[in-house]
A = this chain, B = another copy of it.
């Protein structure tokens, strides 16, 4: 298990691959795929996305102060990749991908109907870091595809939704379940 010093970089994986939607008017509505995202606080629920200043969505989110994090799935893998490679300056991404814009209930922007879970976010501050700026945001709404909400428990079934992760240039499906939080101390019945 000898460790070798490796090139300095950002090697925290697996990460979520999410489609962030933004823009006020439908003509402005855009989608950008992002891996530099995550939860930063449980209560109040807060998250972040990091975006390069050169990206088309950067100015839109900075001006409008809101965006939606749409989780993506195996079925949406191709659209997810495409929205990360192409620019909203050159394409209307909703039209090109066939994804359906749906008005967000709490903020003045669009969510992606085909995403199983759309998280509405309001920007709290923008931090300049270098190649990327970090948009720190509050979660102001969560919208879930009813088909994945367990009728008994009321829980959202993320495994059934077929979520994908991003790992150093590759997309993966979720694999086998290895345990649940606390399984290492569970008493045998």
Contacts and interface: CB of A to CB of B under 8 A. Distances in A.
Interface residues of A, number: 92
Contacts of A15: 14-16, 38-39
A176 interface: yes
Residue of A5, A74, A113, A140 most packed against chain B (CB within 10 A): A5
A177 interface: yes
A134 B8 contact: no
Contact of A3 (B41, B143, B158, B180): B143
Given A117-B11, A142-B7, A129 B41 contact: yes
Interface in A167-189: 167-185
A62 interface: no
B48 A40 contact: yes
Copies assembled: 2
A19 interface: no
A12 B131 CA distance: 23
Given A6-B149, A167-B174, A173-B175, A41 B50 contact: yes
Interface of A: 1-16, 18, 35-48, 50, 69, 71, 74, 77-79, 81-82, 84-86, 102, 105, 111, 113-114, 117-119, 129-132, 134, 139-147, 149, 155-156, 158-159, 163-165, 167-185
